[in-house]
Amino acid sequence: MNKETNKLIPDLRFHEFVNDGEWVNRSIDSVGDVVTGSTPSKEDKEYWGGEFVWVTAQDFKEKYIFNSVLKLTQKGKDKSRVIPVNSVLVTCIASIGLNGINKVECATNQQINSVICNSQNHFEFIYYAISHNNIRLKNMAGQTAVPIISKSVFEKFTIQTPQTHKEQLKIASCLSSLDEVIANHNQKLATLKLHKKGLMQNLFPQEGETVPKYRFPEFVNDVEWEQRSIIDTADKKVKWSFTGGPFGSNLKASDYTSKGIRIIQLQNIGDGEFNDDYKIYTSEEKANELLSCNIYSGEIIISKMGDPVGRACIIPSFLNRCVMASDGIRLVVDEKKYSKYFIYSLINSKRIREAIEKKATGSTRKRIGLDELRGIELIIPKELDEQQKIAECLSSLDALIKEQEERIEQLKLHKKGLMQGLFPKSN
């Protein structure tokens, strides 16, 4: 452990390096050459449409960058544009601090500064060192409308490094191994989601059909599924069982409070899942005033706006009473006739999404109104037992997906803590 807090010594250090002394602050231009990208004119046909990878901020989805949608021609491989393999790419305009390592030769646009590491510095370590200092890097850009860090400023940005290449390599190897575990778990998550997508396409009837491709054995001889509209599934005994959020003027920013009744925003309505990251509240008095726009745990909320329009999720059990914002629609399912989880899953199915998309209006961002949504036609098994069987199948798969997401989140938290220990606290 680091007892001397004023020194650049990490709290966690591999035993073979404990006597190697303090780390040092190094500027980016001392660990490698910095190259700022640029964008060839779209009219300059000699540069576009080839096989040479062209990287923009949108390509920073994983640690390693292998390809991109856009390509340059081989004529684009001149000294002013080419970035060699295993350089560290960092966004310095708009989305400050996104970084990655290119595994193929590439060129970048002007949003990206690339660090071509010299032989004394390991590229993966430099990648992690910049990641560790990401918040400090973002703060350098200030609060302008379009945050920017110039090449000259970025070159003088400091990171902390050990004095030996061997220690850099050891830290990079440790963190890379953990990244590989996270990547494998992400792949498993993607496979589970793909499996669910395919399963839903087979468990629900497709366009023009009245029975699904797959049917559980005990129901294969049952009658065809029946046509119902979304409003038919609402519980008529519950007041406001199918209703939208308030008009914008009825719930303003001035109504927000630091605690109280949770407001469910559009950002909270995920694609088949509730997003808990966005939290705003209002007073109980305001919630009572907007009683027709209240929604409760276990009920379905549907988005009026994309992306995608008409996505649905279930209000989680840890939220008791909430208020919908203007772009939410409450659906309380009549559970004596319908399986809530079946209806929720059916609304999120490919065919219903396409039907909602057709009814939606708007060119840049689709939107659907309450009246249009209530008439969306669903094909539903006549027997509640069959609905519940399908719901159980999909909910068990959703539970596996949730477990996998939580496992990934725990690994990311472990990595965050490990990096805090492996890098010294900057002065």
Q: Where are the domains of the chain?
A: 24-161, 226-380
Contacting residues for 81 by C-beta, under 8 A, at least 6 apart: 37, 38, 72, 107
CATH number at 226-380: 3.90.220.20
CB 91 within 8 A of CB 112: yes
| Mean residue pLDDT across the chain | 92
Q: Say how many CA atoms lie within 13 Å of 184 toward its Cβ.
A: 7
Paired sense of beta strands 242-244 and 328-331, if any: antiparallel
Cα-atom radius of gyration of the chain, to the nearest Å?
A: 27
Residue 416 has pLDDT above 50, yes or no: yes
Q: Omega of the bond prior to 205 within 30 degrees of 0, cis?
A: no
Beta strands in 184-305 (DSSP E): 226-229, 242-244, 256-257, 261-264, 280-282, 294-296, 300-303
pLDDT value of residue 151: 94
Asked, colleague to colleague, whether 24-161 and 226-380 share their fold, the answer is yes
Q: How confident is the model at residue 50 (pLDDT cuts 50, 70, 90)?
A: confident
Whole-prediction pTM value?
A: 0.86
pLDDT value of residue 73: 72
Bridge partners of residue 89, in order along the sequence:
100, 114
CA distance 284 to 255: 11
pLDDT value of residue 201: 94
CA distance 134 to 96: 9
Q: How confident is the model at residue 5 (pLDDT cuts 50, 70, 90)?
A: low
Residue 2 has pLDDT above 70, yes or no: no
Q: How confident is the model at residue 269 (pLDDT cuts 50, 70, 90)?
A: very high
Name the least confident of 61-70, 328-337, 400-409: 61-70
CA distance 295 to 328: 10
Residue 1 has pLDDT above 50, yes or no: no
422, 335, 354: which is closest to 13 by C-alpha?
422
3-state class (DSSP) for residue 136 = helix
Q: How many residues does the chain have?
A: 427
Domain 24-161 has CATH 3.90.220.20: yes
CB 162 within 8 A of CB 155: no
CA distance 258 to 27: 41
Token look-up 């996505």 returns 311
Q: How confident is the model at residue 200 (pLDDT cuts 50, 70, 90)?
A: very high
The mean pLDDT value for 217-237 works out to: 95
